[in-house]
Amino acid sequence: MSAPITVTHRHGERVTVEAAGVELLSYVYKPDAAAYESRKPYTHPLRTLAGRQVSAYRPSDHRWHKGLQMTSSHLSGQNFWGGWTYVPGDRYQDLPGLVGSMRHDGFEEFAVEDESLTLGEKLTWVENGGAEWARERRDLVVHSVAPDEGSWALDWAITLTNIHDAPLEFGSPTTAGREMAGYTGLHWRGPREFSGGEVLGPGELGGEKMMGRQAPWLAFVGEHDEVDAKSTLVFAHAPENDHAIHESHWFVRSHDIPTVAISWAFFDEFTVAPGESFHYRYRVVVADGDWDRDRVGHYLKTHEF
């Protein structure tokens, strides 16, 4: 059974969800001060029902990594990821004049029920010079807070419409020439203590084999410092993503930087014409314990989108 939740909205800044005395997440929609890090909403902290934190904010190696956030590393010459920009032939360059941002324009839906929260957010993607390039409708649903299973879920959907007077070209460092660095799209950065965590996929997939692969889900199991405990995050595609504008691949690292991105432009660019839109929907499950493939598979079968 799902447990009741408590929602706190600090207007103009963030929305926080608690259950059983634990702050499960905080969705921060007020822009950060540092434009270089690409000002945009993010979700941090993420915590399990046992209160263990499973996200990182501004780690020293990548200050622009902030919990769970929607990003685009290469968009028509702009960087909505933050930080250095990968330039073909020159590797990463410090180009702050190419870093774009995402502006929170308001909530079209804000529905709180006993066991769930639904947010419908309006955003505008703004290139570095101030031009508005895209309108986004973002839908977030916090649900399935289940103490008996030790887990809760966040559904994250994006519908993006090109309002620019030219096509928008979505890519990644890999489409720009760097091998196996196709990060873009929905991105999670784990805490440093998760370095060396276990990466699982369906069937025999797992570990380094998941980099650049296609699969309906990926799980990351990390071990915490100070306490004898592990936590699991499951990232999954909604069924309609099979018919999305462009096929997605997994970007995942464990040993050096614990991170996962559901990349919508890993190997190839895709283009969105003026006035056209695209849509993706994902689920992120945050769980206590060391989940194996069978448990992940059972959860996804019994908690359908």
How does pLDDT run across 63-73, given as a tens digit for each residue? Answer: 999 999 999 99
Torsional sign, CA 62, 63, 66, 72: negative
What is the per-residue pLDDT across 136-180, written as a single tens digit (0 to 9) for each?
Answer: 999 999 999 999 999 999 999 999 999 999 999 999 999 999 999
Q: Taking residues 28-55, what's their average pLDDT?
A: 96
- The whole-chain average pLDDT of the chain stands at 97
- What confidence score (pLDDT) does residue 193 get? 97
Res. 254: pLDDT tops 80: yes
At residue 246 the predicted structure's pLDDT band, cuts being 50, 70 and 90, is very high
Rounded to whole angstroms, how far apart are CA atoms 220 and 211?
Answer: 13
pLDDT tens-digit series, residues 98-131: 999 999 999 999 999 999 999 999 999 999 999 9
pLDDT at 221 exceeding the cut of 80: yes
| Residue 45: cis peptide before it, omega within 30 degrees of 0 | yes
Going by C-alpha positions, the residue among 199, 219, 210, 186 that lies closest to residue 298 is: 219
* The pLDDT value given to residue 201: 98
Q: Count the domains in the chain.
A: 1
pLDDT at 292 (0 to 100): 98
- How many other β-carbons are positioned within 10 Å of the β-carbon of residue 141? 18
Asked whether the whole model's pTM tops 0.75, one would answer: yes
pLDDT band at 33 (very low <50, low <70, confident <90, very high): confident
Query: 31 pLDDT exceeds 90?
Result: no
What is the percent of the chain where pLDDT is above 70? 100
Q: Is 113 left (phi over 0), alpha (psi -120 to 50) or beta?
A: beta
Q: Provide the residue range defining the domain that includes 45.
A: 5-302
The pLDDT-based confidence of 188 (bands split at 50, 70, 90) is very high
Cβ atoms of 213 and 245 within 8 Å: the answer is no
Q: What is the CATH number of the domain that holds 223?
A: 2.70.98
- Rounded CA-CA distance 178/251 in Å is 13
Percent with pLDDT over 90 in the chain: 95
Contact present, 200 and 290 (Cβ < 8 Å): no
